């Protein structure tokens, strides 16, 4: 069963993000919405694109650490 989460702001080496999604008991993440802080505010990222999918993989350890903390 996935537990939903919403992180309003997380600072990572990859940037500042706003993330919504779910996490399973096995710590599998499902991201439903991802925004990055740009110079003019929050920008939606297309979670279906290959580039953003790779970014999400790099973000996973940071997100899991935040959710556990």
> Tens place of pLDDT for every residue, the chain, 69 residues?
689 999 999 999 999 999 999 999 999 999 999 999 999 999 999 999 999 999 999 999 999 999 997
Q: What residue numbers bound the domain in which 61 lies? A: 3-68
Would you state the structure tokens that stand for residue 30, as one six-digit string?
Answer: 């499902």
Structurally, the chain folds into a number of domains equal to 1
| C-alpha span between 10 and 38 (Å, rounded) | 14
Predicted local distance difference test score (pLDDT) of residue 30: 95
What's the predicted TM-score (pTM) here? Answer: 0.92
| C-alpha span between 37 and 67 (Å, rounded) | 20
């Amino acid at each position: 069963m996935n537990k939903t989460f919403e992180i309003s702001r997380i600072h990572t080496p990859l940037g500042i993000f706003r993330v919504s999604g779910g996490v399973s008991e096995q710590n599998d993440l499902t991201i439903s919405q991802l925004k990055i802080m740009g110079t003019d505010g929050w920008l939606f990222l297309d979670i279906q694109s290959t580039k953003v999918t790779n970014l999400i993989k790099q973000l996973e350890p940071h997100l899991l650490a935040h959710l556990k903390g």
